[in-house]
């Protein structure tokens, strides 16, 4: 790995460590480093690109890192990663993709991630997306995440698209059984002419299952964002979806929330807010001596923290 | 010295401030008066948050009428809002750190928060949003102004929402500010105990300001005041 690789890796996964962790580093379409631990095993798929990650039943805390870096311009990559989390296990999984593209041709990465989380297991899944490079070739990321949560299993997903991704369509589907818990926190920043589309589809099938989805985004310059979510309550369940967007300049945002209650016991809430930075917040920070520009930056950084 | 010269503010054909003339010297000046009289508007004019329709503000001989909010902040003005502003994702610690950025002696968030009666470790990492109580937000707001160690301190109803038990602490803080050399402190307040410690009292009524010489005079005016009542 060279400096550029390490830099990209650092941006998308600042917690990366080879110690005591299972990891798979994929660079320009090839797995370049791989390690398994007692609690977590990583195996390459035989029939297609991608890996299978197995976390042992009852694992106290398994650390898994699966960063993807793309440094070749004009490179397209598609991978299938499956995660099998054993009963009662605890795992922290760090994924993420960094693209460096200095040329005219487009680079893209599509990660298709499926999670099979067994009874009582707890997973924290962190995913960061980032693009950089001087060329005008696009940096495209279209991740698909599919989550199956068994009884009393839980997944907390933190996703962030930090900067520099020209176009993204991120699709997340989740299916929850009895007592399962899902929490998703999404942060998106777009600028220039970027587009970002987020699609959530959540089915609450088991009683006492719950989902909390929060999307905070900032759309600036000429960028456009779409937020689409469909949450279906098929049981005695609870869901809260919150889409909160700040728009600046000539950016546009649409929010298309849908909640479907198929039983009287489903309690579903959707909140959507789109607006410019609150004037009173700017004023408050300016009374502290911050310029208007600095105040804006501080508000946005806090919002997306 | 802060001079308010012929300041008027008209909005929607309503005269909110009507040719206000004041000279404010170092020490503690309390601005009082009925609801809707124009107290907050006048404080905001001083800070540059509201642009007056006419008139000027002179600070130590310099005309600052056209200076922006942040330019006044850099000249040593601090402001505590009547209604504290909430944020998303900005913590109490973040705000206090930002506030203390330019103050001379570095006061840590821990120190200033305990000064306003908050146990710092319980609060520094909390977001400044509606999960905080009204009184907590108010104390944080006061701390964010105090920590700046400003030369001109403007507090808009700092005591509102502060419980009786902590009130002594608050008035002690203002007593301390009062003795600070070359420091102007302006407090909008309805509280007798704050009026008691004032070096100067200004009464605002229907956008007009007048200097009141003593608390006794204030109560005489208040008892005779017909236009101080609200309603139509
Ligand atoms: N931007 C505005 N548009 C319309 N009316 C305004 C505006 N700003 C102030 N006012 C009016 O001016 C009057 C004075 O308001 P201000 O907030 O200064 O009162 P106050 O003396 O601080 O009252 P309180 O004791 O209730 O805080 C009020 O009647 C208010 O409704
Ligand atoms: Mg007021």
Across the interface, do A303 and B70 touch by the CB < 8 Å criterion? no
Residue nearest to atom 24 of ligand 1 (CA): B35
- Whether A280 has its CB under 8 Å from any CB of chain B: the answer is yes
Q: Which of B49, B85, B100, B126 to mutate: most A Cβ within 10 Å?
A: B85
Query: Which of A216, A286, A299 has its CB closest to that of B69?
Result: A286
Residues of chain A contacting B68 with CB distance shorter than 8 Å: 286, 292
Tokens of A93: 């999984």
Residues of chain A contacting B88 with CB distance shorter than 8 Å: 216, 244, 302-303
Tokens of A248: 């600046």
pTM > 0.90: yes or no: no
**β-strand partners of A126:** A94, A158
Tokens of A48: 């297609």
Phi/psi-derived region of residue A186, left when phi > 0, alpha when psi is between -120 and 50, beta in every other case? beta
Give the pLDDT confidence score for residue B104 in this predicted structure: 67
Tens-digit pLDDT profile for residues B153-170: 999 999 888 887 778 888
pLDDT tens digits, chain A, 305 residues: what are they?
A: 888 888 888 888 888 888 899 999 999 999 999 999 999 999 999 999 999 999 999 999 999 999 999 988 888 889 999 999 999 999 999 998 888 888 888 888 899 999 999 999 999 999 999 888 888 888 898 999 999 999 999 999 999 997 888 999 999 999 999 999 999 999 999 999 999 999 999 999 999 999 999 999 999 999 999 999 999 999 999 999 999 999 999 999 999 989 999 999 999 999 999 999 999 999 999 999 999 999 999 999 999 98
At how many degrees (to 10) do helices A292-303 and A279-287 cross? Answer: 120
Phi/psi-derived region of residue B207, left when phi > 0, alpha when psi is between -120 and 50, beta in every other case? left
At how many degrees (to 10) do helices B92-100 and B134-146 cross? Answer: 20
The interface predicted TM-score of the complex, written ipTM, equals 0.94
- Residues, chain A: 305
Which atom of ligand 1 sits closest to the CA of residue B188? Answer: 22
- Whether A290 has its CB under 8 Å from any CB of chain B: the answer is yes
Which atom of ligand 1 sits closest to the CA of residue B204? Answer: 21
Rounded Cα distance between A44 and B85, Å, is: 52
Across the interface, do A288 and B144 touch by the CB < 8 Å criterion? yes
């Amino acid at each position: 790995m060279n400096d550029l690789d390490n830099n990209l890796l650092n941006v998308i996964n600042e917690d990366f460590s080879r110690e005591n962790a299972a990891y798979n580093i994929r660079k320009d379409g090839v797995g370049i480093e791989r390690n398994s631990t007692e609690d977590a095993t990583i195996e390459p798929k035989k029939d297609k690109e991608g890996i299978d990650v197995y976390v042992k039943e009852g694992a106290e805390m398994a650390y898994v890192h699966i960063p993807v870096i793309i440094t070749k311009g004009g490179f397209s990559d598609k991978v299938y990663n499956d995660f099998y989390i054993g009963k009662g296990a605890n795992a922290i999984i760090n994924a993420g993709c960094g693209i460096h593209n200095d040329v005219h041709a487009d680079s893209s990465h599509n990660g298709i991630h499926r999670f099979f989380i067994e009874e009582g297991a707890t997973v924290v899944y962190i995913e960061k997306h980032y693009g950089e490079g001087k060329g005008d070739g696009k940096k495209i990321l279209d991740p698909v995440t599919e989550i199956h949560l068994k009884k009393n299993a839980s997944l907390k997903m933190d996703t962030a698209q930090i900067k520099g991704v020209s176009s993204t369509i991120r699709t997340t589907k989740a299916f929850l059984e009895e007592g399962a818990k899902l929490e998703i926190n999404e942060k998106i920043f777009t600028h220039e002419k970027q587009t970002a589309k987020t699609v959530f589809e959540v089915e609450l099938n088991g009683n006492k299952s719950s989902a909390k989805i929060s999307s905070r985004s900032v759309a600036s310059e000429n960028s456009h964002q779409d937020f689409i979510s469909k949450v279906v309550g098929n049981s005695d369940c609870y869901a809260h979806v919150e889409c909160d967007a700040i728009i600046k300049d000539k950016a546009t945002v649409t929010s298309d929330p849908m909640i479907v209650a198929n039983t009287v016991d489903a309690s579903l809430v959707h909140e959507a807010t789109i607006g410019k930075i609150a004037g009173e917040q700017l004023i408050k920070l300016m009374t502290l001596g911050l310029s208007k520009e600095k105040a804006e930056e501080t508000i946005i950084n806090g919002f997306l923290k | 010295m802060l001079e308010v010269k012929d300041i008027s503010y008209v909005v929607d054909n309503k005269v909110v401030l009507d040719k206000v003339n004041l000279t404010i010297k170092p020490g503690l000046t309390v601005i009082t008066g009925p609801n809707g009289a124009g107290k907050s508007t006048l404080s905001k004019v001083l800070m540059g948050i509201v642009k007056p329709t006419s008139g000027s503000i002179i600070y130590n001989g310099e005309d600052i009428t056209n200076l922006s909010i942040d330019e006044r902040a850099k000249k040593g003005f601090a402001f505590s809002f009547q209604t504290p502003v909430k944020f998303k994702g900005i913590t109490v610690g973040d705000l206090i750190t930002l506030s203390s950025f330019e103050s001379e002696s570095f006061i840590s968030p821990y120190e200033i928060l305990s000064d306003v009666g908050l146990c710092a470790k319980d609060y520094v990492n909390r977001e400044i949003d509606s999960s905080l109580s009204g009184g907590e937000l108010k104390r944080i707001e006061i701390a964010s102004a105090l920590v700046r160690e400003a030369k001109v301190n403007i507090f808009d109803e700092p005591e509102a929402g502060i419980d009786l038990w902590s009130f002594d602490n608050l008035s002690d803080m203002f007593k301390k500010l009062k003795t600070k050399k070359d420091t102007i402190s302006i407090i909008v307040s309805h509280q007798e105990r704050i009026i008691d410690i004032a070096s100067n009292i200004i009464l605002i009524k229907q956008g007009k300001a007048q200097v009141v010489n003593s608390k006794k005079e204030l109560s005489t005016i208040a008892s005779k005041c017909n236009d101080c009542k609200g309603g139509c």
